[in-house]
């Protein structure tokens, strides 16, 4: 009964490739998020969707494109991967206004 | 942009000791949250605080929302080995729906 799930758990790829990370939540939440955690463990929000609509778009390269097919799913597609994209990416969800956010287990992306 | 200053950066304590960590900001926050992250996992919410001055407990954990709304602390009493992990504070402004995270406090417990 995983609340927020992400696939894959690990992703190793070459520079220049395109990859996607999938996220699903079964909490019935309307709002979903993508965060990036760097090597120093700093967590920074990238995107937020509310009921399939983009509401937060931090300063993220446009190589990153979130897609929300329905309010239970928020996928992250990354084009032309770069070395600096290596990080752990977390999906999260909450009720609208985002006070209590529930995080997925993370996807560790390594770009070689 | 808004920043949270979390301290200490890391702690290495003896099992059974009490632990205290805090977050401060130059900005006012409407909500303070404390999360714990175990290795290889996502952050898990420990305590949420919604009112200035609020003091909330969750088992051996106690957190307070500072009266100025610019700070919060988390105490862990009688630490045990499974308390090991990274503790993050996070703040949310009144009209924003994004969380701003502190840099984390790494807790190690010596048994």
Of A33, A43, A48, the CB nearest to B88: A43
* Confidence label for B2 from pLDDT (cuts 50, 70 and 90): low
pLDDT of residue A98: 63
Residues with Cβ within 8 Å of A45's Cβ and at least 6 positions away in sequence, in order, are A33, A34, A35, A56, A58, B98, B99
pLDDT of residue A1: 64
With DSSP H G I counted as helix, E B as strand and the rest as coil, what are the percentages for chain B, rounded to 5?
A: 5, 50, 45
Is the Cβ of B33 closer than 8 Å to some Cβ of chain A?
A: yes
Q: Which residue of chain B is at minimal alpha-carbon distance from A97?
A: B97
Task: Compute and round to an integer the Cα radius of gyration of chain B.
Answer: 13
Tens digits of residue pLDDT in B13-27: 999 999 999 999 998
Q: Which residue of chain A is at minimal alpha-carbon distance from B94?
A: A97
At residue A55, does pLDDT exceed 90? no
**Cis peptide before B107, with omega less than 30 degrees from 0?**
no
A60-79: average pLDDT: 93
Q: Determine which helix (DSSP H) or strand (DSSP E) holds A107, and give its type and residue range.
A: strand A107-111
Is the Cβ of B13 closer than 8 Å to some Cβ of chain A?
A: no
At residue A46, does pLDDT exceed 80? yes
Tens digits of residue pLDDT in B43-100: 999 999 999 999 999 999 999 999 999 999 999 999 999 999 999 999 987 766 688 9
Contact state of A103 with B44 under an 8 Å Cβ cutoff? yes
By the 10 Å C-beta count (0-12 exposed, 13-18 middle, 19+ buried), A16 is classed as exposed
pLDDT of residue B93: 78
* Confidence label for A97 from pLDDT (cuts 50, 70 and 90): low
Is the Cβ of A90 closer than 8 Å to some Cβ of chain B?
A: yes
Chain A residue numbers touching B86 (CB-CB < 8 A): 41
Using the 8-state DSSP alphabet, how is residue A64 labeled? E
Give the span between the Cα atoms of B61 and B100, in whole angstroms: 21
Contact B102, B23 (CB under 8 A): yes
CA A33-A56-B45 angle, 5° bins: 35
Tens digits of residue pLDDT in A71-84: 899 999 999 999 99
């Amino acid at each position: 009964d995983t609340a927020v799930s992400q696939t894959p758990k690990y992703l190793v790829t070459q520079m220049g490739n395109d990859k996607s990370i999938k996220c699903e939540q079964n909490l019935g939440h309307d709002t979903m998020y993508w965060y990036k955690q760097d090597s120093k463990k700093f967590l920074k929000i990238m995107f937020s969707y509310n009921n399939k609509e983009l509401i937060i778009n931090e300063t993220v390269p446009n190589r990153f494109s979130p897609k929300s097919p329905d309010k239970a799913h928020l996928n992250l597609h990354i084009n032309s991967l770069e070395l600096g994209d290596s990080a752990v990416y977390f999906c999260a969800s909450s009720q609208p206004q985002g006070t209590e956010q529930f995080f997925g287990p993370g996807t560790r992306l390594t770009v070689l | 942009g808004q920043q949270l200053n979390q301290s200490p950066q890391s702690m290495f304590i003896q099992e059974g000791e009490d632990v205290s960590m805090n977050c401060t900001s130059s900005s006012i926050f409407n909500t303070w949250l404390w999360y714990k992250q175990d290795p290889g996992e996502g952050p898990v919410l420990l305590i949420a605080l919604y009112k200035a001055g609020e003091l909330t407990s969750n088992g051996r954990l106690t957190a307070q929302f500072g009266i100025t709304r610019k700070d919060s602390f988390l105490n862990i009493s009688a630490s045990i080995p499974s308390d090991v992990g990274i503790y993050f504070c996070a703040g949310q402004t009144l009209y924003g729906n994004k969380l701003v995270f502190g840099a984390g406090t790494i807790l190690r417990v010596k048994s």
